[in-house]
Chains A and B, each alone.
Chain A
C-alpha cells in the first residue's frame, strides 16, 4: 500500500473538486465510525457514505438514513403475486380448460393455496432482491472510494467514510481537515481514474444484440408449437427434441436397402406353417363379437344361456352398469348413484340414464342391448354413455344383456311368471336353446323392484342409500 499517495501535497492548492472523485477517511473501529457519521450528518453533508467490513448496528440512525420504501414494494409485490396466482389458476382451471379432477369443483380455493403461497413468496423475494440492488444505486461502474489505495482494507478491517466531490460542501482541503478532526486515522483523496469512466457504447450494442438473439429460441418454439393448431392438421409438428416417436423403422410398403430384393415387407420364412390348423368359423366369431349377421341384429344369444351366465351377468351389471342405471335398471333420477348424487347436489349435470326396463328398451332385440354396451350411446355428437368394449369382454357383455332381460321381465312380468316354479322350469331348458323369451326373471327380482319403490321414498326423505348394493348382491345367493 503506497502511504505516500495518502498525504495531500500542498501544491494542489485550493480545490473544490474537478480533480478528485472525493475523499476517503479511515477510522479505527465501529464506535469511531458511528461517532464520525453523526458529526458529518450534523455538518450538513449530503453525498457521503459509510463502509465497513460487517454491518454496524445503529449506523442507519447515526447517518440519518430515512426508512426505505422497499418494505412497501415487497408487500405490494407479494399481494400482486397472490392475485396473479389466483387469477392464473381460476382462468386455466375454470375457464380455459375446465376439467374435473376427483370430484372437486373446477375452481376450488384449497387446491390453489400452495401456488398462491409460492408466487407470493417468489414475487416478494425477487422484488426484495432486485429492489435493494436498484435502490442502492447498483450496479455502478465506479465508486468514490475505490480509487483510494487504502480503501481495499474495507473488506478486512477498515472502517471508511467517503465524501463525494459532488457534495455542495466538498472542498478537498477543508473536507480532509474536517475528517481528520473527527479522528480519522488516515485520509486519502480519491483521484479520478485515467481515461473515460463511461461504459463504452459497444457494451450497450452487444447487450442489445444478445437480447435480440435471446428471443429467437422462444419464437422458434412458439412457431413449432403453434402451427399444429390447424385442423385438419396437414403439416407434421416440428420436433425440436426427437424422442421415441421419431425413430428408424421399416414399414410394410417401403423400400429397404438391406435386402437384395429391396422389399421392406418380408415373405414368411420357407417352411412356415399356419399356427391354427382349423380356421375358426368367422361367422360365429362375428356374431359373438358384434351381435350382427351382415347388417341385421341377431335375436338369439350366440352363447349357451344358463344360471352361471345369469350370475356372471348380475355381477358384471352391478359392477359396471348399476352405478348409473341403478341396481334395478330403472335409471332416471332416482336409481343409480350418479343420478342420485347429481340430484342431491341440485345439479343434474348430465342426461338421466335411460330406464333399461322401459318400453323402448324392452322392445329391442337382445343384440341391440349388446351393441349399446359395446359402442355406448352417442347423442348430439357426444357420448352420453361411454363404450364398454374395452373394459368388458364380449362374453360378459352377453351376460349383462341376459341379466338386463331378467330385470325387464321383473318389471313387466308375463302372466305365467306368477305360477309356481315357472322361472326354474324356463331356465332349466337345454343349454344353447334359450331365446329372448326364455330369459325368465330369477327369483326375488319382483321384490327387488318393490324394494326400489321403497328406496325412492326413503331417498326423497333424505335417508341414506348406502346398503342397497349389498342387498342387490345377495339376490341370487
Chain B
C-alpha cells in the first residue's frame, strides 16, 4: 500500500524518473504483430465462410452449422470472459504480482466488439423466428408442451433479445472501462485511477456473475428448454476461467517468445502463478461438473436426466469419458508439479490441451441434438472452430499492438517486477 503514493516506483520504459529500476519495455516493433492481424483475420473469415458453404452440401447441414457456430462462439466468448474476470479479480484483490500480465488479459477481454458482431448469426435468426437452434422459438412446440408454456414468460424472443443486448453491453462496457483506465494511467501515472478501478471491481464482479449466468442459461441451457440446472451458469463460468487462463498463458508465452514482452517483465514466477490458477480452475471445473451430474444421477428423475441420457448413449459416451479424463484428471496430474508450471514448454502444452478440451466441453454442451449418437466430427465443426479462433486471435493481436505490453505506471509495478513465489 505504501507504493500507491510513492513517486519512486519503478517506472518502466517512460524513462523519466526510473531510478535504478529502468526496464526496457518495447523490445520488438509492433509492426510485426500488425502484419499478422490481417492475415489471421482473413484466414478466419475464410474458414467461417467455408464452414457455412459446407453446410449447404450436407443434408440438415444448416441446423448443424448453427450448432457448430454456437459451439465456437461460446468457446471464444468464454476465453474473453475468463480474461475479463481475471482483470476484475486483480483489482478486487488489489493484486501486485499480476500487474505485468494484466495488460495481456485486458487485450483478450478487449475482443467484445468482435464477439458482439459474431453474436449476430445467433441473435438474428432468433429475431426472425427461426427455431434452428432454440426449440422454444417455435410457437407450436411451446403450445404442445405444458412446461414450455409456463416458461414462455422468460423464454420469448423479445425478452431474450433484451437480455442478450444487456449481457453483451455489460461485458463490453466492463472490458472497455478497465482497459481505458489502465491506458489512461500509462499516460498520466495517476495512482488514483487504480483506486477508481478497485472501487468499481466489486459491483463489476456482481454484474459479471449475473450476466454470465443469464448468458449461459439463455444461449446454452435453453437448447433443451424443458431441462434445467441451477448450477449451469457456474458450470459455464468454471470452464470460461480455464479457457481464459489458458488463453492468457499462451498469449504471454507468444509475446515473450517473439520479444514483444521482455522476460524481465513477465518472469517464470508470473507464469508459475498463472499455472496455479489454471490448475486450480481445472479442479474447480471438475468439482462443478460433478456437482451437477451427481444430483441428477442420484434423483434419477426423467425431467432432469434427459440432459445426460443423450450424452451417455452411443458415441457420446466416448466424448463424456474423454472430458472426464482430458478436462480433469490428466491435466490435473500434469499441472500438479511445481516444475511443470515453471517450464514454458509444459505450461504451453497444457494450455493448448485445455483449450482443446474446453472446446470439446462446449461441443458436448451444444451438439448432442445436431449430432445424435456422435458419429465423429464434421468438417463444419473444424472449420467453424478454426475460423472463430483465428478471427479472435487477430482481434487480440490488434489490441496487443495498440497499447504498451504492460501497464507502464501502475503503482504496483515494482511489486510485480520483484515478485517471487518462495
A57-B422, A60-B422, A61-B422 given as contacts; is B298 within 8 A of A102 (CB)? yes
Interface residues of B in 317-353 (CB under 8 A from A): 336, 338
User: Chain A's nearest CB lies how many Å from the CB of B7?
Assistant: 21
Q: List, in ascending order, chain B residues with CB within 8 A of A60's CB.
A: 422
Q: List, in ascending order, chain B residues with CB within 8 A of A71's CB.
A: 338
A57-B420, A61-B422, A113-B290 given as contacts; is B300 within 8 A of A103 (CB)? yes
**Which A-B residue pairs are the 4 nearest by beta carbons?**
A57-B420, A60-B422, A110-B297, A58-B420
User: Chain A's nearest CB lies how many Å from the CB of B163?
Assistant: 34
User: Chain B's nearest CB lies how many Å from the CB of A274?
Assistant: 53
Q: Bits for A94-123, please: 1 = Cβ < 8 Å to B, else 0.
A: 000000001110000011011000000000
User: Chain B's nearest CB lies how many Å from the CB of A475?
Assistant: 27
Interchain residue pairs with CB less than 8 A apart (8): A71-B338, A75-B336, A102-B300, A103-B300, A104-B298, A110-B290, A111-B298, A113-B290
Bound together, the chains give a CA A61 to CA B300 distance in angstroms of 55
Are the CB atoms of A58 and B294 closer together than 8 Å? no
Q: Bits for B384-422, please: 1 = Cβ < 8 Å to A, else 0.
A: 000000000000000000000000000000000011111
Report if B293 contacts A (CB, 8 A). Answer: yes
How big is the B interface, by class? Answer: 10 to 19
Q: List, in ascending order, chain A residues with CB within 8 A of B418's CB.
A: 57
List B residues at the A interface (Cβ < 8 Å).
Answer: 290, 293-294, 297-298, 300, 336, 338, 418-422
Q: List, in ascending order, chain A residues with CB within 8 A of B336's CB.
A: 75
Q: List, in ascending order, chain B residues with CB within 8 A of A58's CB.
A: 420, 422
Interface residues of A in 34-64 (CB under 8 A from B): 57-61
Bound together, the chains give a CA A174 to CA B336 distance in angstroms of 46
Interface residues of A in 397-455 (CB under 8 A from B): none
Bound together, the chains give a CA A71 to CA B293 distance in angstroms of 31
Bound together, the chains give a CA A59 to CA B421 distance in angstroms of 11
Q: Which B residue sits closest to A67, measured CB to CB? A: B338
Are the CB atoms of B294 and A113 closer together than 8 Å? yes
Q: Which B residue sits closest to A55, measured CB to CB? A: B422
Bound together, the chains give a CA A59 to CA B290 distance in angstroms of 41
Q: Bits for A58-99, please: 1 = Cβ < 8 Å to B, else 0.
A: 111100000000010001000000000000000000000000
List A residues at the B interface (Cβ < 8 Å).
Answer: 57-61, 71, 75, 102-104, 110-111, 113-114
A58-B420, A58-B422, A60-B422 given as contacts; is B293 within 8 A of A110 (CB)? yes
Bound together, the chains give a CA A102 to CA B300 distance in angstroms of 9
User: Chain B's nearest CB lies how many Å from the CB of A348?
Assistant: 22
Q: Which B residue sits closest to A62, measured CB to CB? A: B422
Q: List, in ascending order, chain A residues with CB within 8 A of B297's CB.
A: 110
| From B294, B338, B422, contact of A110 by CB (8 A) | B294
User: Chain A's nearest CB lies how many Å from the CB of B178?
Assistant: 28
Bound together, the chains give a CA A103 to CA B301 distance in angstroms of 12
User: Chain B's nearest CB lies how many Å from the CB of A130?
Assistant: 21
Bound together, the chains give a CA A58 to CA B294 distance in angstroms of 44
Q: Which A residue sits closest to B336, measured CB to CB? A: A75
Q: Which B residue sits closest to A65, measured CB to CB? A: B422
Interface centre among A57, A102, A103, A111 (most CB of B within 10 A): A57
User: Chain A's nearest CB lies how many Å from the CB of B288?
Assistant: 13
Q: List, in ascending order, chain A residues with CB within 8 A of B300's CB.
A: 102-103
Are the CB atoms of A114 and B422 closer together than 8 Å? no
Bound together, the chains give a CA A111 to CA B420 distance in angstroms of 42
Q: List, in ascending order, chain A residues with CB within 8 A of B298's CB.
A: 102, 104, 110-111
Q: Which A residue sits closest to B287, measured CB to CB? A: A117
Bound together, the chains give a CA A104 to CA B297 distance in angstroms of 10
Q: List, in ascending order, chain A residues with CB within 8 A of B422's CB.
A: 57-61
Q: List, in ascending order, chain B residues with CB within 8 A of A59's CB.
A: 422
Bound together, the chains give a CA A114 to CA B287 distance in angstroms of 10
Are the CB atoms of A114 and B420 closer together than 8 Å? no
Bound together, the chains give a CA A114 to CA B421 distance in angstroms of 32
Q: List, in ascending order, chain B residues with CB within 8 A of A57's CB.
A: 418-422
Q: Which A residue sits closest to B299, measured CB to CB? A: A102
User: Chain B's nearest CB lies how many Å from the CB of A103?
Assistant: 7
Interface centre among A61, A110, A111 (most CB of B within 10 A): A110
Bound together, the chains give a CA A337 to CA B266 distance in angstroms of 66
Bound together, the chains give a CA A75 to CA B419 distance in angstroms of 27
Q: Which A residue sits closest to B300, measured CB to CB? A: A102
Q: List, in ascending order, chain A residues with CB within 8 A of B420's CB.
A: 57-58
Q: List, in ascending order, chain A residues with CB within 8 A of B290's CB.
A: 110, 113
